[in-house]
Structure 1
């Protein structure tokens, strides 16, 4: 299968956060300064070429370099938490909480000064200070969000795939160990079933594929691989949001099963759920599945309805609302992480026509990591929102 020349469904090429906004990779050099670092995932083209972690950090490098992540922290809060994560891991959550509270206090103080000086000669100055503080805090919160996601990956002992520009040799990319089991272990059985369908949809690799099929070589452009990765992040985020809505409606259905709630009343409870993300499986759901899910799934039996059938019952508006990233910080983080992972190390640009040789196993590894990233992003966003008001993604 040659993915470099395969035409993917149109819904897989554009990732809609809102009806007016699409996520795109950068068309100009990134403003983030990214420095070479060691990596803990080995990506190789053979025995003679590989990209692997060093046994110890270079004494001249900053403390963040040993985190082995594609994206480097830009804020003081991010660099501090990076150090805590490396040297005092048991205190990481406490440090995150304290940093978020400090950031919230700093931003609120700047806004308060701006309001108090609104009718003074210094009004414009304090307004500008408040704007700068808002921007500074937004970058810091994105760092906090990223490190919290990194922490969750480290809990399941899965290192993030390193910057690909340092791991592609002679146009060949291989990522190992695969870590498939660890990446799948974070999902419930019904969610995992949908994740496996997603992997098949975007890679063509069946769940029961043989070892030979897993390690078969395919071609794909770097841009397309990046788009698949981003779409998979969004899908993981969507699944987490949809699962919460499903659980809530199940709970409501059980509590009110004797009241025989109407479909209209049932939808009212969806308003209580958080809004999430993107398209589902790129719209690639078979008619056979649709029929099987529609049979025997009335509201009175909602407590027995599988998640897959529940999601397939979404109307376009509900799907869009559940698929929308809640915060601007989450949007920015996905863009930054994806550009750091797939972009050129110096410019951050992604070469549209660069063709990469890779195995289906390596593609699966990237997709599973991205789905997990999206799931962790949802959890992290929810936690941060309790301590620091994120900017709404309109």
Structure 2
């Protein structure tokens, strides 16, 4: 049996936003409506993402060619090649290529290399603007102003590569290879990603977050936790453009979950305003995100008993639509640019109405990867901000 998924995309402030997705069958629609009526007080994802948006710029992105894996390749139906080198994008800057080489050949030195690279980028920008300040009244003022602007843009691109390598490192810790460009994995319009690696991708989340992700999977692709093996591998059809929207929105959903989870933990820990130790612990946690020594927990305060603890879903229901949208929006332009480049590299030009056949198992794999990508993006952004001044989104 074949189903067709056709996510609905609306325009908000000239931006494309995924707001809903059809379930795989009318019966699933009825079950979902009954579940919504029964679950008063539960956070519904259409509400969460009512203000979510991501700009896609119409510009060329130069991407190095990569191999592929996880499905059928272009060579006579052979399976795509599994390899840590087969990522949608390769770092395009010297800083990114350096970190890629260190991660591949001297993994133990990766963290030190990241710190040194960021410090070097900060120094280069500072030196360029120092020369600009020194020559402000000279005939070379315009030249040095332009040099400073170009250096800042160059370092900004380098920082995006650094963030990407931090994300790549996180996936390598899970022993999960990123899905390569889909053009390398589609054979006869059929896409399959094997092995699924679902357990590894779910292992980074708490039980409470996993429950929210399950609800999200039902919302965006119609997947259910009670699917049989036959149902999981049932054939479904989806437009490649819609799959791109789902993947990108799932990155933002993962970013949203990480942001709100830590905000919730911090507010629950800071039950007593005089407990400065907790704030100091949180600051230290931010500075060590890249090293993977934390487990999404912040030390609890001895004053926690003064305030009734609430679960994350209840906490989120108290947010306004604007607050929810803000938590899902990347804080920096570098992070936003990275999402845009990554989606373009993975899906290519999605302007056509090309349909592809796949399975719910593969759709789930793609969504879980995107959610993890968003979570790791938040980590990398927070770490980089402790050294380098990222450009904030107004």
Q: What TM-score do you get using the length of structure 1 for normalisation?
A: 0.78
After superposition, the Cα gap between the structure-2 partners of 1:102 and 1:256, relative to the gap in structure 1 and judged at 3 Å, is: closer
Counterpart Cα distance in 2 of 1:372 and 1:336: 17
* Deviations 1:61-111, CA, capped at 9 Å, x for gaps: xxxxx6221011110011111110110011111100000000000001111
CA distance in 2, matches of 1:88, 1:191: 34
The within-5 A match list for 1:2-13 is: 2-5=3-6, 7=8, 13=16
Matched, 1:31 2:52: no
User: CA 1:213–1:104 in structure 2 vs 1: closer, same or farther (change >3 Å)?
Assistant: same
Structure 1 residues 147 and 361 mapped into 2: Cα distance closer, same or farther (>3 Å)?
A: same
| Maintained 8 Å contact 2:52/2:325 | no
Task: Supply the distance in 2 between the matched residues of 1:367 and 1:302 (Cα, whole angstroms).
Answer: 36
Alignment equivalent of 2:168, drawn from 147, 150, 163: 150
For the residues of structure 2 that align with 1:389 and 1:141, how far apart are their CA atoms?
Answer: 10
Higher mean displacement: 82-91 or 303-312: 303-312
1:389 is matched with which residue?
389
Partner Cα separation in structure 2 for residue 20 and residue 227 of structure 1: 15
Equivalent of 1:102 in 120, 132, 146: 120
In 2, the alpha carbon distance for the partners of 1:362 and 1:301 equals 46
Once residues 122 and 363 of structure 2 are traced to their aligned partners in structure 1, the CA distance between those partners, rounded to angstroms, is: 39
Deviations 1:217-269 (A, max 9, x none): 1111011000000000000001111011101111123x369xxxxxxxxxxxx
Q: Secondary structure at the match of 1:162?
A: coil
Deviation at 1:38, TM superposition (A): 2.6
Q: Give the corresponding residue for 1:317.
A: 322
Where in structure 1 do 4 or more consecutive aligned residues deviate above 6 Å? 9-12
CA distances 1:156-181 after superposition (whole Å, capped 9, x unpaired): 11000011011111111011100000
Q: Give, in angstroms, the shift of residue 308 of structure 1.
A: 1.2
Please report how far the alpha carbon of residue 301 of structure 1 lies from its aligned counterpart in structure 2 after TM superposition.
Answer: 8.5
Q: Give the Cα–Cα distance (whole angstroms) in 2 for the partners of residues 303 and 73 of structure 1.
A: 47
Q: For 1:201, what is the secondary structure of its paired residue? A: helix
Q: CA deviation at 1:6?
A: 5.5
For structure 1, the 5+ residue unaligned runs are 56-65, 258-273, 275-298, 344-348
* 1:348-392: CA deviation from partner (whole Å, max 9, x where unpaired): x22430001000000000000000000000011111111111111
Matched, 1:138 2:167: no
1:1-394 to 2 correspondences below 5 Å: 2-5=3-6, 7=8, 13-14=16-17, 22-25=53-56, 27-28=58-59, 30-35=60-65, 37-39=66-68, 41-44=69-72, 49-53=77-81, 67-253=85-271, 255=272, 303-343=308-348, 349-394=349-394
RMSD of aligned residue pairs (Cα, Å): 2.9
Structure 1 79/359 Cα, relative in aligned 2: closer, same or farther at 3 Å?
Answer: same
Cα deviation per residue 1:180-205 (whole Å; 9 max; x = unaligned)?
00000000111111111111110101
CA distance in 2, matches of 1:21, 1:137: 28
Deviation at 1:42, TM superposition (A): 2.1
| Number of equivalent positions | 334
- Partner in structure 2 of residue 268 of structure 1: none
Change (3 A) 1:256 1:92: closer
Structure 2: distance between partners of 1:46 and 1:124? 51
Contact 2:121 2:155 in 1 (8 A): yes
Question: 3-state DSSP class of the match of 2:78?
Answer: strand
Q: Secondary structure at the match of 2:72?
A: strand
Q: Does the C-alpha gap of structure 1 residues 8 and 74 become closer, same or farther in structure 2, counting only changes over 3 Å? A: closer
Q: Evaluate the alpha carbon distance shift between residue 195 and residue 333 of structure 1 in structure 2; reply closer, same or farther with a 3 A threshold.
A: same
CA contact (8 A) 1:107 1:133 kept: yes
Q: State the Cα deviation string for residues 297-328 of structure 1 (Å, max 9, x = none).
A: xx999643111111122112322332221111
Q: TM-score, normalised by structure 2?
A: 0.78
Gaps of 5+ in 2: 20-49, 275-285, 287-303
Return closer, same or farther for 1:217/1:71 CA change in 2, 3 Å cut-off: same
